[in-house]
Structure 1
């Protein structure tokens, strides 16, 4: 005997077609906990009769709910609520901008078997030079070449992550009395790093393509008294806004900094997700410190950072690193070398781009707001909001079991009122992401 459904049939009170009204009514009751995981939904024909709608309407609505991960159908038994309700015991994290999980045990096992036969034991028996082993710098130089950046390995410093490479770049490009100019909304890790080190950071106006050249020129002019000026930019898939500079904008930024005598710190960690555009370091190698790393391009477990330097800074970098060794794991470097030799890096990156596109499309579909800014290659989406609204939204999301990035961590000027919500799409499972975005969509509808 089949269990009866506990759901009281209804259609949402909104002006749309019957399918969408039924989807919204069921989704709202699932998310709000009025239906629990494992509860059975009414049979298609019974529900169609009770609501006075067509059988096809119910079938389409149930299919939409299953695509969103809210229900599951069991052949011969019916349709059941699939969403988990234990929000008091868990939290879906949309605050960490990590790439989706695409590496599998088979690839890793084959890789480890390959490197076991040829790994250099001296890389484990001896301390690495300050900038990293030459063999490993050669490997990273080959990888950077696939991104359009040709680097002399002697001008390359390796670190145990891109954030350490960024910290070194800040130290080299900005002295104690210097200033770092950056997008007025930018990567939280860079802001936290600058504040922790006591560097003065100044926000510059942005548009849909990133930092505005005229605004940068004005900011550099007003900062002329600073002992050193550095411009920190993420030209490809800017975190958090996903803005990407075209080639013309990149050339303009390089020329403005060249004329002003300012260094550029280029954050290129997302460049592999949107190939084809020239790195700033390729346009102005004499002034650009290029930061990159493997965690966003291949997988978070590969903690390898790389800093490509103008020729005149290599000695200063090595001197700085004498007391702060930050070389990456030899095993991680060997993994990357094996992947380069085997030619599987392009396939890994294709898988990442495919999954990023799938998740970005899901966010656009579920949130359904014209304001949402997303890019098919990005691991996050951006929802502009006024600062006080964004703060309240983050708090409401936390109460619903979803962790979001606090807006203030992305604001160079803490008093800036033009803010927003960063939605990190790569970390959770697809099921959890669907659940979280559906909850957020419900919150947004109630706030309209």
Structure 2
């Protein structure tokens, strides 16, 4: 009599084929220890019935898992979880893009003490205007100037992070029924946001500079004008590929959008003022610019900034009266103190050095793979076919390493070309070294047979 499988059938909650969702669910539970070595998987017909899927889908999923070494089939008995060596201890997370930890407890304590002696109580006892306190907007306008963007404080909207700023920008230009044209591989948060709000997202071809102008023009022509359209683009240190546009490419994107009378949403969260002129400076009449200190200084500094066009000032104020996004006044006071005493400048310099050190480490330890990186970026990109990328991500999980799966950055999940994003900033340097060393070992073994 065959033993009953201890696994509770489920499909992973991700944008992928049914077989891929089944593979991901089983791989995740094996990595998490929910399924242990020697546990029997459900029989093909039994699992197909439980999940209301085809038997062929189950067969395909089990075959993929067996190629990855996660399960083994025993003739006449069934399919079982194979033995594997998982990393002992906590998970090393290379899936969240964040700057390396630089600030010390002592430095933060000094800043909070300084703020307590000079803080304006009105920031905490009075409601701010929908776009944020004017003094704070002036403060952030000065910060944006250090990034190469001259901004009128009256056109700045302060939010509790870049994701809120991006959500507001999407709503202002497209409402709830428009279409966002963006790089075919793009920021996972933008993909999630569009799916949540019902906006349609269309991918545009990319090359080593990012969005391809001719492909953008073709996409805009084919979309027509029946729906509200907007172009969302990351010209500096594109997430996930790290591509950075030349000035000529930025001008071409701006010209195409001007010709088609389409607004631009520029994601500038990774800009440092040295990589190129923001598109918002080239097309101020139609470009909304998103920025944030959480990506450039510290993840806990949840202050986002949205620069709107002159024509959208009143519209933005009206939207914020219904759904206020103002950041914490304390975070703004910290920024004010750090701008005054030079902390932000020194942190940015240190982050630049640390990003370069981690990028070099990734290139050295993954030298046998095609790795796309940039010395100023907190992530690296491993381009590969979709199936191979899925195998790589699952094998990494079995070693106790979380990476960004290919589906998270793909506008069109059915495409065959994708890759794996490795976020180099969040982990300690020792953990990053250990994780990359382990990943180098699965570089070849995860390739499809």
Report the TM-score when normalising by structure 1: 0.79
User: Shift in Å at residue 86 of structure 1?
Assistant: 7.7
User: Shift in Å at residue 369 of structure 1?
Assistant: 2.9
1:423 aligns with 2:422: yes
Judge conservation of contact 1:360–1:381 (CA < 8 Å) in 2: yes
Tell me the residue number matched to 1:349.
348
Tell me the residue number matched to 1:209.
209
Rg larger in structure = 1
Tell me the residue number matched to 2:367.
368
Alpha-carbon distance in 2 for matches of 1:404, 1:370: 16
Tell me the residue number matched to 1:110.
110
Judge conservation of contact 2:406–2:418 (CA < 8 Å) in 1: yes
Alpha-carbon distance in 2 for matches of 1:369, 1:213: 32
Alpha-carbon distance in 2 for matches of 1:307, 1:201: 21
Tell me the residue number matched to 1:441.
440
User: Shift in Å at residue 370 of structure 1?
Assistant: 4.9
Alpha-carbon distance in 2 for matches of 1:177, 1:113: 48
Judge conservation of contact 1:213–1:256 (CA < 8 Å) in 2: yes
Task: Determine helix, strand or coil for the equivalent of 1:109.
Answer: helix
User: Shift in Å at residue 111 of structure 1?
Assistant: 1.5
Judge conservation of contact 2:177–2:198 (CA < 8 Å) in 1: no
User: Shift in Å at residue 446 of structure 1?
Assistant: 3.0
Judge conservation of contact 2:98–2:295 (CA < 8 Å) in 1: yes
Judge conservation of contact 2:188–2:409 (CA < 8 Å) in 1: yes
Alpha-carbon distance in 2 for matches of 1:235, 1:344: 27
After superposition, residues 5-20 of structure 1 pair within 5 angstroms as: none
User: Shift in Å at residue 175 of structure 1?
Assistant: 2.7
Ranges in structure 1 where 5+ consecutive residues have no aligned partner = 1-84
Tell me the residue number matched to 1:185.
185
Alpha-carbon distance in 2 for matches of 1:178, 1:98: 30
Tell me the residue number matched to 1:290.
289
Cα pair distance change 1:86/1:276, threshold 3 Å: closer
Alpha-carbon distance in 2 for matches of 1:149, 1:89: 44
Cα pair distance change 1:92/1:370, threshold 3 Å: closer
Deviations 1:104-149 (A, max 9, x none): 1232122122211211111111222110011110110110011111
Task: Determine helix, strand or coil for the equivalent of 2:147.
Answer: coil
1:162 aligns with 2:162: yes
State how many pairs are aligned.
363
Task: Determine helix, strand or coil for the equivalent of 1:421.
Answer: strand
Judge conservation of contact 2:403–2:420 (CA < 8 Å) in 1: yes
Task: Determine helix, strand or coil for the equivalent of 2:311.
Answer: helix
Alpha-carbon distance in 2 for matches of 1:108, 1:89: 29
Alpha-carbon distance in 2 for matches of 1:276, 1:113: 35
1:322 aligns with 2:318: no
Tell me the residue number matched to 1:130.
130
Tell me the residue number matched to 1:37.
none
User: Shift in Å at residue 224 of structure 1?
Assistant: 1.5
Judge conservation of contact 1:182–1:231 (CA < 8 Å) in 2: yes
Alpha-carbon distance in 2 for matches of 1:226, 1:208: 32
Per mean C-alpha deviation after superposition, the further-off stretch among 120-129 and 255-264 is 120-129
After superposition, residues 306-317 of structure 1 pair within 5 angstroms as: 306-317=305-316
User: Shift in Å at residue 227 of structure 1?
Assistant: 2.6
User: Shift in Å at residue 371 of structure 1?
Assistant: 1.2
User: Shift in Å at residue 374 of structure 1?
Assistant: 0.5
Tell me the residue number matched to 2:97.
97
User: Shift in Å at residue 392 of structure 1?
Assistant: 1.1
User: Shift in Å at residue 212 of structure 1?
Assistant: 0.3
Alpha-carbon distance in 2 for matches of 1:157, 1:182: 23
Task: Determine helix, strand or coil for the equivalent of 2:266.
Answer: strand
Alpha-carbon distance in 2 for matches of 1:190, 1:324: 19
Alpha-carbon distance in 1 for matches of 2:275, 2:402: 34
Alpha-carbon distance in 2 for matches of 1:358, 1:392: 28
After superposition, residues 136-175 of structure 1 pair within 5 angstroms as: 136-175=136-175
Alpha-carbon distance in 1 for matches of 2:334, 2:345: 15
Judge conservation of contact 1:175–1:227 (CA < 8 Å) in 2: no
User: Shift in Å at residue 406 of structure 1?
Assistant: 1.7
User: Shift in Å at residue 89 of structure 1?
Assistant: 4.1
Q: What's the Cα RMSD here?
A: 1.3
Tell me the residue number matched to 1:256.
256
Task: Determine helix, strand or coil for the equivalent of 2:217.
Answer: helix
Task: Determine helix, strand or coil for the equivalent of 1:117.
Answer: helix
After superposition, residues 17-36 of structure 1 pair within 5 angstroms as: none
Task: Determine helix, strand or coil for the equivalent of 1:271.
Answer: coil
1:271 aligns with 2:271: yes
Task: Determine helix, strand or coil for the equivalent of 1:385.
Answer: strand
Alpha-carbon distance in 2 for matches of 1:437, 1:205: 29
Task: Determine helix, strand or coil for the equivalent of 1:302.
Answer: coil
Alpha-carbon distance in 1 for matches of 2:354, 2:175: 41
Alpha-carbon distance in 2 for matches of 1:410, 1:173: 22
Tell me the residue number matched to 1:396.
395
Task: Determine helix, strand or coil for the equivalent of 1:201.
Answer: strand
After superposition, residues 54-69 of structure 1 pair within 5 angstroms as: none
User: Shift in Å at residue 382 of structure 1?
Assistant: 0.2
Task: Determine helix, strand or coil for the equivalent of 1:440.
Answer: helix
Judge conservation of contact 1:157–1:306 (CA < 8 Å) in 2: yes
